[in-house]
């Protein structure tokens, strides 16, 4: 079964342009506690390289694009995020890495929990043991 859980965000567009509203509902399937975004990422940088114990996230590129690699300890899948109306839901024990950021990339992350360093697994061997 694929780890890539696509979400499509309805665009409330009219003749003036487009608008996407993300609320805790069926669109974002958890209560939103935090929003953060990665931008101005330098060339050839890989970010992430960790798993979360409890955190659920929705990720989308509101500008530019990047590659997200998801690894459940048995297999790995990559997805290209390149649209402000399509994102992915990442939940469960998944090792994630983000790479191939375009210069203009803004990766928006909507999260189910406040920042908590103890929710991170930053060591791949520890991640494998946790599965
Ligand atoms: C994730 C990917 C997509 C905070 O103080 N508060 C926060 O809410 C966040 C997200 C980070 N930080 C601090 C912790 C580090 O000192 O910011 C610094 C950089 O964080 P980190 O190295 O974890 O950044 P990434 O890009 O590797 O990972 C981040 C998120 O941490 C993570 O949840 O899934 O973006």
Pocket test for ligand 1, best of 36, 54, 68, 118 (most atoms within 8 A of CB): 36
Marked catalytic residue, from 5, 34, 47, 50: 50
Site to substitute for ligand 1 among 33, 48, 62, 98, most atoms within 8 A of C-beta: 48
SS3 at position 74: coil
Query: Where does the pLDDT of residue 8 fall: very low under 50, low under 70, confident under 90, or very high at 90 and above?
Result: very high
Query: Is the shortest distance between the CB of 115 and ligand 1 below 6 Å?
Result: yes
Q: Assess whether the C-beta atom of 53 lies below 6 angstroms from ligand 1.
A: no
Question: Phi-psi region for residue 14, left (φ > 0), alpha (ψ -120 to 50) or beta?
Answer: beta
Span from the CA of 16 to the centroid of ligand 1 (angstroms): 35
Whether domain 5-9+25-130 has CATH 2.60.40.10 = no
Q: Around Cβ 28, how many Cβ atoms within 10 Å?
A: 20
Q: Is the pLDDT confidence value at 89 over 80?
A: yes
Q: Do residues 121 and 52 touch, judged by C-beta distance below 8 A?
A: yes
60-70 pLDDT, tens digit each:
999 999 999 99
Active site residue 50: yes
Locate the domains of the chain by residue range.
5-9+25-130
Categorize the per-residue pLDDT at 1 as very low, low, confident or very high, splitting at 50, 70 and 90: confident
Output the average pLDDT for the chain: 97
Q: Does pTM surpass 0.85?
A: yes
So what's the pLDDT on residue 109? 98
Atom of ligand 1 nearest to the CA of 48: 27
Q: What is the pLDDT of residues 19-62, one digit of tens each?
A: 999 999 879 999 999 999 999 999 999 999 999 999 999 999 99
DSSP 4: -
* Averaged pLDDT for residues 84-96: 98
C-alpha 102 – ligand 1 centre gap (Å): 19
In the chain, what percentage of residues exceed pLDDT 90? 97
Average pLDDT over residues 79-84: 98
| Residues 95-104: tens digit of each pLDDT | 999 999 999 9
Nearest CA to ligand 1 atom 3: 48
């Amino acid at each position: 079964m694929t780890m890539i859980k696509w979400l499509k965000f309805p665009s409330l567009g009219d003749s003036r342009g487009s608008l996407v509203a993300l609320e805790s509902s069926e669109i974002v399937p958890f209560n939103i506690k935090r929003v953060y975004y990665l931008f101005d990422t330098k060339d050839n940088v890989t970010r992430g390289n960790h798993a979360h114990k409890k955190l659920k996230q929705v990720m989308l590129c509101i500008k530019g694009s990047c590659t997200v690699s998801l690894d459940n300890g048995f297999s790995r899948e990559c997805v290209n995020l390149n649209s402000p109306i399509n994102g992915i839901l990442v939940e469960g024990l998944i090792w994630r890495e983000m790479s191939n950021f375009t210069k203009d990339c803004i990766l928006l992350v909507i999260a189910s929990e406040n920042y908590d360093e103890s929710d991170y697994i930053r060591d791949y061997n520890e991640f494998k043991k946790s599965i």
